[in-house]
Structure 1
Amino acid sequence: MKPRKIIFIISLFGAVANAAENSCKYALTGGKQDIITIDIGQTMSIPRDTPNGTVLYESTPYQHGTTNKYNCSSAHSWGVKNNLGTDTTTSDTFPIGGTGISWQYILNGKARFGYGGFIESAGTWHFENYTTALRLIKTGDIKSGVTIAAGDVGYIKADTLFLTTIRTSQPITITAASCETPDVKVDMGEHDLDVFSKSGSYSRSINFDIKLNNCPSGIKKVTYSLTPNTTAPAWNASMGIIKLHANSTAKGIALQIIDSNEQPVELNKTYTFSNFSSTGGNFNIPLAARYFRTLPTGNFGEHDTGMSAGTANSDISFVMSYL
């Protein structure tokens, strides 16, 4: 009798489990899920320093019909499953591997949460006159050169029933767009010590450019900042003045960075390069450098104690951002 009881109990549990797992079914004969195929293109170029949370792409809304109308005999879990990474019940944003990009399922203009984040009651449900769109969002550092495979991005489930699936038609290669920026070496030439007769006096300016080469299209904004290095710390950040290297033999002077209008470039401040074009190409940010007397004025002009000629080397870093 025990074997029969065991078999009976297992059969009973199996029947209950099957009923619970299959509480939702298509309501119409021939009912099936909607497959939404989207062509994003073969490449997606994203400016390297685009802020997290920026919407990178949103598809044209797809208009649902009646084919995926469904009935559910009991309350059930409902929500989005991510086919390209993880999903949780508390988030409406789903990572695409380690690309730095996530996607959202936009149903009727609203991002929907992961499966299980919503409990739908028993009854008849439909997507008729609803719209679905795919939204891509930057959520991390862009991994340039990676490819998102074509195929299913994710889907909405009601219990075990697949209702809609978003699918991409072709692989997408991601690039983090930026310009090539070679190091800059500025030959400051020779300067007579007598131009530094008092505190605040300065030498003639030596022009140089920060070059932006081979900039791709799609970058809308370029910013830059000048950051002092430990080898040449700031003497006066607001005036764009940095100290000379410790092994320089010239004394009483420092180096000042100025713009094309001979105005000081404040250190650690972000400037927008206004002559950039989103069509891409090659560009120059015009700047200049000059020596600046930092020693207080004395009674002997350029011969004041603490002033001396010699080598006068320095360096500074420039930081570019592409938006």
Structure 2
Amino acid sequence: MKTTAERIFSARFIVPQLCVIAFIALAVSPPAKADVTAFGQEISIPRNTVNGTVVARHYMTPQEVCGGSSCRVTQVFAYPDGGGSSSNSTVLTTNVSGISTRLLINGRAYGSSYPGETFTRPIEVQLLGDGRENKGGSLAGVHGSPYYYTISTVGGFAFRIYLKGTITPIDGTCSVPSQTVTLPKTLIQRLERVGSTAGTKSFQIQINNCPKGYNRVGYTLDPIGGVIVNSPGVLPLAGGSTASGIKIRVENAQGTPATMATSITLDGYRKAEGGSFVIPMQASYIRTDTVAKPGTVKGAMTVFMDYR
């Protein structure tokens, strides 16, 4: 008597309406010791960006900062609104209402201080929502000094970081309805070895009512339970699963494992038009262990939208 196993893939695609993840493509930074201009372009973001949401990032490598593979920062001065008195606050307001900035070295935020911090990975400057009304405008400084940070490093290198660019608030964001996708029942014998797949089911991620005005709209697939290392597209087992050694793999329409935890440009979105879109995808069972037990398989992921 053949044994069958019912496996249900329950994927809920949820977009927190205020969640924004923005990545900014930037020009090549100046050589070591030169002052740095961060951003310097139009940045379109939702008007209702929540407090603390990062909307743009700029990176400076050790080579750009001090001309080597590592640098040691000896001193940081931070200037709210791009001028005037320095502050030891790790989050500085900008002259654009609703937007603040933050400087990170080795992932740690710094205001005016003496870090004594050696870094080999890039320094990061962020723009983030700060809870004030987002009125938009050009990033600039006050008091005729439009720089927000000065950094000194061992070797006598010192430079200023200027913030430039135009912030454009957009009313509204895209919406993504939740959905449940049910895979067909599949015989465990069809998953005879690790890596075998079966029970493919096609589905679509629907992205609706994207407003006009954004320079780019992207989406990120985020497995609930975290990304499984060396298992592209595979979702961790969700609560209620009774099977073992078998999981769900999410794939694009051609059957290639989906890219997880990385922002992907929404094809078809046009700044002057906006609109609604569908992303064709599919999901399959996949054998993940040498020992497998029949039962119910569940997995889930969240779709995060980001705007620029």
Larger % of helix: which? Answer: 1
* Higher Cα radius of gyration: 1
Higher relative contact order (CA 8 A, sep 6+): 2
